[in-house]
Amino acid sequence: MPTTSVHDLKTLILSFHSVIAVETLEEERTMELLKMAAQEIPIPLYDWSITQGLVRRLEVKGSGAENVRGDSTAIADSSGPMELLNCIEALRIDGIFALKDFGKHLKDPSVVRKLRELSQRFAHTQAAFVITGPRLTLPDEIEADAVYYTLEMPTRDELYEMLQAVVRSLNNKQKIKLDLDAEALGGILQALQGMTLNQARQTIAYAALTDNRLSREDIEEIQARKIKFLQEGGQLEYYPPQDNASEIGGFDKLKAWIQRAELGFSDKAQSLNLTPPKGILIVGVQGCGKSLAAKIIARNWKLPLLKLDAGRLYDKYVGESEKNLRRATAMAEAMAPAVLWLDELEKGFSPPSQSNDGGTSQRMFGAFLTWLQEKDESVFVVATANDLSKLPPELLRKGRFDEIFFVDLPDEEARKVIFEIHLNRRKQNPEQFDLQLLVDKTQGFSGAEIEQAVVAGLYRALHLDAPLNTAILLEEVTSTVPLSVSRREDVEALRVFAGERFVAAD
């Protein structure tokens, strides 16, 4: 178990924090941390649930942490929430009382009143209530005296200890062969990062039991299961390095910057006290490759790409939006080194009804800026934005990001490359087309609009039962009204504003 987590919990208890809220699904891991903190203080440890009542898990006898013993017998008349609090009051001892899923019982005013009275008494001792649960919303009367503790994702050391324990346990029933050199072991631990300890335990056990061995070949399966867990969480999308085959036309200045920035992660840069780059903001015309740029950075650096749609962070319940942001950023740090792609950043700080958001967008913005400044250096942020008018001006100030790039409509050379990329991707030979004519006819087109013309042309060719040719593509091009025409004023305003202030990507 990480010594920092144990130390943090121990410090909170010793500093008279009488109510500690731990919002987590990792109940077993939380109890293990509390047990270690209780042993170090030393202080008795109890835990309670509605099904078992109050159980003494650790009793201190004497003054040393070695003089402790456990018990699994529930104390009589302690199963209900009010009975529990009356029981603790009657015990009149200092202890850690872990209350599982107790938050849902705090809708009863009598329970809230009783807990508040006990917590006020605990505030003068080293006793503490630790309330755990997957989603905690404390009433105002309790929240005023409570402190929220964030249980970080499992560290690499925790995952290694878990892996060893799983193999030992499985070997009691059937022999599991470990076919791992140092590099393969590192790959497996890297693939496990970002999972809860229980998810990682299940994943390792499944991989080992499939063929009675753990080897380099299991890394891909572990990554696939991690993608599944992330998708179920709903806040991050995961793109493994080996699945990233993105290509992009143009962006010469951005590509050159990416090559230089990668040196910031080298040992040589660290020897010169240079800190690694923390991230970039890419603004520009919609459909011109901002999202592709994030994928290109992850591909070139051979790092996993994590996509966070800022608009999906918002929740109708008070406080949940901020928690969603904390969960997402904590997950990203747990999976470092990685590239975190924040798509359409303006949606994260400008919800649909700003007048009724109760200040949520401002709190989200402040939390994001704080994290951006203090985050793990091995999480590189690539933020993209379409509408600068909705971004807080503080975010555009120099220093928030290492650089701010402006992506304009592709020029003639870039359009030619874009046509070649999308034709090749769909098994068409670019040399069989009059690319110069197509390039001339797509002036003012974005990369996305060129791609759509190729896709629509292929569908037309399939319908005609004929090979795709220049004439078919020209029909699609001429029937398309590009964004630079349909929203000419908006596009021109963006080009004027950004062109004078930010670095051109191309």
Give whole-number Cα distances, 273 to 270, 371, 400, in Å: 5, 22, 20
Mean pLDDT of the 69-86 span:
85
Q: Is the dihedral of CA 58, 30, 128, 115 positive or negative?
A: negative
* Tokens read off for 351: 């919800």
- 412: pLDDT strictly greater than 80: yes
Nearest 10 degrees: CA dihedral of 105, 108, 114, 116?
A: 80
pLDDT given for residue 421 in this prediction: 92
- 68: pLDDT strictly greater than 60: no
pLDDT given for residue 3 in this prediction: 62
The answer to whether 200 touches 162, Cβ cutoff 8 Å, is: yes
Mean pLDDT of the 270-298 span:
86
**Confidence at 70, pLDDT banded by 50, 70, 90:** low
Mean pLDDT of the 361-379 span:
79
- 481: pLDDT strictly greater than 70: yes
- 66: pLDDT strictly greater than 50: no
> CATH homologous superfamily for 243-407?
P-loop containing nucleotide triphosphate hydrolases (3.40.50.300)
pTM exceeding the 0.75 threshold for the entire prediction: no
Residues of the chain with CATH 1.10.8: 156-233, 412-486
Per-residue pLDDT tens digits for 127-173: 999 999 988 889 999 998 899 998 888 888 889 999 999 988 888 77
Domain at 412-486: CATH code: 1.10.8
Burial class (CB in 10 A: 0-12, 13-18, 19+), 109: exposed
- 459: pLDDT strictly greater than 90: yes
**Confidence at 351, pLDDT banded by 50, 70, 90:** very low
- Which fold does the domain 3-149 belong to in CATH? Rossmann fold (3.40.50)
**Confidence at 376, pLDDT banded by 50, 70, 90:** low
Mean pLDDT, the chain, integer: 85
**Confidence at 335, pLDDT banded by 50, 70, 90:** confident
Mean pLDDT of the 333-345 span:
84
Mean pLDDT of the 111-122 span:
95
- 425: pLDDT strictly greater than 70: yes
- 318: pLDDT strictly greater than 70: no
Per-residue pLDDT tens digits for 200-252: 999 999 999 988 889 999 988 888 888 777 767 667 888 776 665 566 767 88
Block residue for tokens 């299940």:
202
Q: Is CATH 3.40.50 correct for 156-233?
A: no
Per-residue pLDDT tens digits for 7-16: 999 999 999 9
Using CA atoms, how far apart are residues 33 and 150, in angstroms rounded to an integer?
Answer: 13
Per-residue pLDDT tens digits for 435-455: 999 999 999 999 899 999 999
**Confidence at 195, pLDDT banded by 50, 70, 90:** confident
pLDDT given for residue 145 in this prediction: 87
Burial class (CB in 10 A: 0-12, 13-18, 19+), 322: middle
The answer to whether 404 touches 499, Cβ cutoff 8 Å, is: no
- 377: pLDDT strictly greater than 80: no
Most confidently modeled of 55-64, 341-350, 494-503? 494-503
**Confidence at 296, pLDDT banded by 50, 70, 90:** confident
With pLDDT > 90 as the criterion, what percentage of the chain qualifies?
39
